[in-house]
Amino acid sequence: MSFTLHGIGVSAGIAIGVARLASHSRIEVAHYVLSQQYLDKEIARFEDAVTTVRQEMEVLRTQIPANAPAELPAFLDMHLMILNDSMLSEVPKQLIRSQQCNAEWALTQQMEQLVDQFEAIEDPYLRERKTDVVQVVERVLKVLLGQPDNLPSVESTLADSILVAHDLSPADMIGFKRSQFAAFITDAGGATSHSAILARSLNISSVMALHNALNLIRDNEIIIVDGDQGVVIVDPDDAELEEYQLRKEQWEIEHQKLKRITTSRAATLDGVDIELHGNIELPQDIAAVKESGATGIGLFRSEFLFMNRVDLPTEDEQFAAYREVAAAMNGMPVTIRTLDVGADKPLGELTEHTLNPALGRRAIRLCLSELPLFHTQLRAILRASHYGKVKILIPMLCNLVELRLTYAALDRAKASLTAENIPFDTAVEVGGMIEIPAAALMAQAFAERMDFLSIGTNDLIQYTLAIDRADDSVSYLYDPMHPAVLQLIAMTLRAGEKAGKPVSVCGEMAGDPKLTRLLIGLGLRRFSMQPASVLSVKQQILKTHSSETTILVQKILKATDTDKLENLLARLNQ
């Protein structure tokens, strides 16, 4: 009997094939109380399991196919880093001894504590990293429990197989690549999970967050995966098969055409140049940026250097990471956002819990109250500016007092480097993020005092519409096309134009091709997004006439009715 499942389409395209089920979802762990005399042996058993997984991952690292996506080695490195972190490799041993429990139970307890910390993070990308912790822990648990790998064997898969799993780790993805699945669908995951990023890199259709696909789909059933619509059709009838086969062929033709524009100039039909930059979290992400044809890094989320560790990175550690990115981009701009953590993104004892983390001490508010921490990061960024075109981006600015204090901190960092004869770019550009309504309303004042502005649309939408993005019960209200949001974006772009300062968008709106013409019509000329989205956005740019777009966008700005806005957007994208 045919039925349809709905999830999140994380990688576009259509696949038709037979289902291959992963063997299980989550590993069940029993709890045993051990006598004192067995604790040393239990700790040794845990250490052996960690060593085994480490060796497995190091072997997998050497077996990555030559045509694997550039992100895959970086993701494996991240899993190795998580495995080697004392929070997973040492704390469970302490729990075994203090609670006199078995290794599986101690490891699971520690995992749940770490997952809870990630759950409290507001940023969706960073919150999604809990999945990486779970995936690493599950590999160790499999060794402890003597369970085999949960992926179908290479021999059991065909080119038209579609993997159905609860979740997939980067290590699983290596086997996935060798098995040549046509698509994969999962019960868990989201648009910013590593599996989703890898799916986009592989250009393979994928739908996630299906919740019950593994229970509802049977092995060898024919299924259709529509990554554009986030739909999975199980046991389709002849008419559905014929329709989707035609759509699949059309999508494949369009996809091949897309690769041809990698090195093309990003300009509209009437000759308006558009800058396309990539967002990164770690130096390892540079390869994906270069492969996409992006001409710079518009957002380097430096907070990733501070996470998954018990101590703070030193100035030299930060400098090495920033310098690596600056040098690798070979003169192209690298915009480094200063530390954006706070009560919503725990950072050891430096942060504190508040009733409403999104409105608490975070980002520049935290940095200005922890000046030694801020001073260290500013010195590291300034030192890196000697090796490339580095820019500094300040998050969550709210008023001019914060801006003056930020400049004072920057002057102190510059003075200290000068006193030590350490070279840096004395004219390094400093920009501000516009991500709260107050900043958008004051955009003119910020533009006059800074070198550039960058609109963080994710937070701007959240704060404008009073929606907690982490709360599923109100997620339906999260609307990039809300008239108030569009007005604030337009206001910021006009302020930048009046002050003669460039303005970019680095939130999710920048990477959505459906909104490309709208943003161009509003006056945006700099986009920064996940590297996987660059070519789709560039294709839309190449088909756009900016002056014609501007006329229709002005009608959109005047509209207040949601239905009318949707109709106007549809006309804009025709």
Taking the CA atoms of the chain, what radius of gyration do you get in angstroms? 25
- Active-site choice (79, 166, 194, 482): 194
Contacts of 433 (CB under 8 A, 6+ apart): 337, 393, 394, 395, 396, 397, 439, 453, 454, 455, 456, 506
Number of helices (H) and strands (E) in the chain: give both, helices first: 24, 16
Q: How far apart are CA 338 and CA 405, in angstroms?
A: 14
Residue 422 φ then ψ, to 5°:
-95, 125
Of 441, 336, 447, nearest in space to 393 by CA: 336
Distance CA 198, CA 372 (A): 38
Instruction: Based on the residue annotation, tell me whether 194 is a catalytic residue of this protein.
Output: yes
Q: Cα torsion at 75, 81, 83, 84 (round to 10°)?
A: 160
- DSSP E strands in 262-330: the ranges are 275-280, 297-301
How far is residue 525's CA from residue 268's CA, in Å, rounded to a whole number?
11
Q: Is 353 a catalytic residue?
A: no
Distances (CA, A) of 116 to 177, 345, 418, 502: 32, 12, 44, 39
Order of strands, edge to edge, in the sheet holding 183-186? 3-6, 231-234, 222-226, 14-21, 161-165, 183-186, 205-208, 8-11
CA distances from 54 to 46, 60, 167, 306, 310 (A): 12, 10, 20, 23, 20
| C-alpha to C-alpha distance for 400 and 365, rounded to whole angstroms | 13
- Active-site residues, by number, are 194, 506
